[in-house]
Structure 1
Amino acid sequence: MAQILKFPNASLPLRRVDNLSHLISALSKHRHSREDVYWLKENAELLNVLECTGEATGATGAGAGDLSELGAELCPDALAPLQSFYKDADRHLCFFKQYYRFILSICMDLEDLGLAGTPSRGEDLAHWVMQQDLPEHELSDLQRAEARRLLARRGLAGDFAGLDDRLHGFVDNTAQFAVPNRKAAYELTHIVFYLSDYGRRDPGLSAAAVHSLNHVGLLAFLDQDADLLSEVCVSLRYCSEMPSKVWEDWLQLHHQGFALIEAGRAGAPALHRDDYHMFLVSSWHQALTGEASFHQRVPTGALRFQRPARQGILHHLSHAAYQLEGQSGDWQKLRPQISDGLSEGDYRLLCEAENSFDGFGTFFEGFARRGTIQQQPVMRVNNG
């Protein structure tokens, strides 16, 4: 009697534990060399998301959503590709001390995720960073805030006089966040991450700072930028604020459209153009909302990440606002003029953006940037 052999269907989803193992392997072995800063960045980001969402502990994730069913799914063997980096981290830190924040983050997350090794290595590295006074060499308060958070994970407190006041002063300046500025937008979300210790404590944001986050969220939604919008929604949840349902519904739909492609396949995007970071923060946001995350089938070997096609209207809106040439920033008066020429789909996106946030009119007043410098007071600087 003939025996019928059944082969596994490659289209079937893998177990989530296998997906996570394949993802760690891809980032640690198949995308960048270990001496490349992008290797440090990508692996630090992934491990950070796995650690702060409680992947190996069964803990309930911070912010929102019960992650208990996600915990304890990270197989201990999944971290094995990073064992040698962890073992040699002291040499790596000594040679690449300009990247000390990435290296500290990787080692501390590996320890907290359960990698077997020297329990005090992360603490030893943190002490060396303090002895070298590396945080004082930073020019950016954002980087100092990250360094402070990392050192505090191993019980070390540096002298960062005035840092919180400066961070809160930055995030409270709501007007600047109604203007497209990706650098400032990502600094805003990361300040929330560090002040909240990734959702473990109240960051103490003011109502103005929450408005800043919502303004950046509007800009990201208008641009259909799932990367930035995911970070905004995570930040709002870390502030115990519920993000717009319109935004989160769109993010869930967008997340389902990601493609994880073997690097050698035709049509795979080039490494420098793929959407790894967007996939990661989108998965992070999905985990916080209790939705499926890291459930897409992850092939073994080298991977490329491709987002679904999307088209925003931020450029059209910005161009139209510039053409107003100093007219009123009243949204209701200018709406017909600005929406003229939009396709049906783009007009629908504009309506969704309006309905996603009660303060859209106030947001647009700042976004319009009406007037000229002649209409603004100018302070003369006396150099004499």
Structure 2
Amino acid sequence: MTNIIQLTVPSRIPPLEARITALLGAFADHRRTGDDVFWLKENAELLNILECTGQSVAPEALARHAGFYADAVTRLEFFPQYYRFLLSMSLDLEDLGMPGNEAQRMVDFAAREGLAEAELSDLQRAEARRLMSRRGIDPVRDDGLNDRLRAFCARTATFALPNKKAAYELTHIVYYLSEYGRRDPDLPDEAIQSLHFAGLTAFLDQNADLVAEVCIALHYAGRTPPAVWTAWLEQETAAYGITADPSASLNDDYHEYLVCNWHQAVTGSALFRKPVCDDRLHFKSGARPQTVLRELSQAIYGLDRRSGDWGRMRPIMEPSLSPQARDVLSVAVNSSTLFDAYFEGFARAGRA
């Protein structure tokens, strides 16, 4: 009789908690210095993803921000213009397990000083409301704020055109209204259509960062994103290259990497699967076509007479596109049942 011995081969990927610990260390200590506003931005983004997806973070990982946390109230008092970053980090650190009550002191200070009243943008007021409400204070005395945000989302024509600023505002409105997936944002059907339009533009642009944000927003709105987008994001997330290099440029794809992994967590998949180390890291996305949206716009713009009817326009436009652009366009068309409605706005036929 032959005895078969089963060998347990250890995984070459450290456990998730260890990967999170290394990633927090890399952002806390190796990319930028703590007096750089971009340090605040990067670390706030990472902590927010960990908090809103319910990740377990080891005490020693949180301790990398012990110095920041101990000084957070003083920083806020001297740099109130950065109150949203400072509040976000402190709230998330506490909610992830950092012992202390500094965030409450900071929220109380921000309320006393009326910091949210300095915001001109409804979007920034909504963020301030979302942050400070986590410690029981609503700083925005405006019953109509949420209605205005929903009205912005419901203007579908805005999102049938390439407009990254508006698209990111759209996704963040959904995050704030839904409290990052904790409640129904009560969006009208037109807002869901706007998310699909923004996602189609982002997919045509092969912008994984924005496609991921749109898919997350759809999940938080209780809707299922197109399966094609989700599958593409999974493929792109697996394609990231991460290298440790003390001289690496910080002009990299870190934000796209974080958002794509956030999307992985929201869909129930494993996040931060790539091995990382507690060092200066450089994040690089995989190669992808970058000219599709431009080619499509140029093809439409060059026509003397154009129509918003995709069925009529497709055979006219496609011959002028590169094979790569035609392939991406074909996938986009089949990814959403709303493509025909999207193209009607994208073509701008009424302005020809």
TM-score normalised to structure 1 length? 0.86
Write the distance in 1 (CA, Å) between the matches of 2:304 and 2:67. 60
Deviation at 1:317, TM superposition (A): 0.8
Show the 5 A alignment for 1:131-150. Answer: 131-150=112-131
Residues 1:165 and 2:152 aligned together = no
Aligned to 1:236: 218
2:303 maps to a residue whose letter is L
2:119 maps to a residue whose letter is E
Write the distance in 1 (CA, Å) between the matches of 2:245 and 2:148. 44
Residues 1:17 and 2:17 aligned together = yes
Aligned to 2:255: 277
Deviation at 1:15, TM superposition (A): 2.2
Deviation at 1:337, TM superposition (A): 1.8
What are the superposed Cα offsets for residues 9-48 of structure 1, whole Å, 9 maximum, x if unpaired?
A: xx93222222111110111111111111101111001000
Aligned to 1:311: 289
Deviation at 1:115, TM superposition (A): 1.1
1:212 maps to a residue whose letter is S
Residues 1:355 and 2:334 aligned together = yes
Deviates more, 1:191-200 or 1:157-166: 157-166
From 88, 94, 98, the equivalent of 1:111 is 94
Aligned to 2:158: 176
What are the superposed Cα offsets for residues 231-272 of structure 1, whole Å, 9 maximum, x if unpaired?
A: 00000000110000000000000100001111247xx5x212
Deviates more, 1:77-86 or 1:291-300: 291-300
Aligned to 2:205: 223
What are the superposed Cα offsets for residues 317-362 of structure 1, whole Å, 9 maximum, x if unpaired?
A: 1111211244221111110121113343332211110111112111
Aligned to 1:95: 78
Write the distance in 1 (CA, Å) between the matches of 2:94 and 2:142. 26
SS, match of residue 349 in structure 2: coil
2:131 maps to a residue whose letter is L
From 317, 324, 335, the equivalent of 2:314 is 335
Q: Is the 8 A contact 2:175 2:217 kept in 1?
A: yes
What are the superposed Cα offsets for residues 152-196 of structure 1, whole Å, 9 maximum, x if unpaired?
A: 100112312321121011001001100000100000000000000
Aligned to 2:6: none
What are the superposed Cα offsets for residues 282-307 of structure 1, whole Å, 9 maximum, x if unpaired?
A: 00001111222111100221111111
Residues 1:127 and 2:108 aligned together = yes
Deviates more, 1:243-252 or 1:317-326: 317-326
Write the distance in 2 (CA, Å) between the matches of 1:261 and 1:231. 25
Q: Is the 8 A contact 1:172 1:206 kept in 2?
A: yes
Q: Is the 8 A contact 1:262 1:302 kept in 2?
A: yes
Q: Is the 8 A contact 1:79 1:115 kept in 2?
A: yes
Greater helix share, structure number: 2
2:309 maps to a residue whose letter is D
Q: Is the 8 A contact 2:209 2:259 kept in 1?
A: yes
From 54, 61, 65, the equivalent of 1:82 is 65
Write the distance in 2 (CA, Å) between the matches of 1:166 and 1:225. 28
Show the 5 A alignment for 1:49-60. Answer: 49-56=49-56
Q: Is the 8 A contact 2:246 2:279 kept in 1?
A: no
Aligned to 2:269: 291
Structure 2: tracts of 5 or more residues without a match: 1-10
Q: Is the 8 A contact 1:326 1:371 kept in 2?
A: no
Q: Is the 8 A contact 1:173 1:208 kept in 2?
A: yes
From 181, 193, 206, the equivalent of 1:199 is 181
Write the distance in 2 (CA, Å) between the matches of 1:147 and 1:325. 48
Aligned to 2:4: none
Deviation at 1:371, TM superposition (A): 4.0
Query: For this pair of structures, how many residues does the alignment match?
Result: 341
Q: Is the 8 A contact 2:202 2:208 kept in 1?
A: yes
Residues 1:260 and 2:270 aligned together = no
Deviates more, 1:334-343 or 1:254-263: 334-343
1:219 maps to a residue whose letter is T
Write the distance in 2 (CA, Å) between the matches of 1:264 and 1:36. 18
Indicate the percent of aligned positions where both proteins have the same amino acid: 49
Write the distance in 1 (CA, Å) between the matches of 2:322 and 2:300. 18
Write the distance in 2 (CA, Å) between the matches of 1:315 and 1:244. 23
SS, match of residue 271 in structure 1: coil
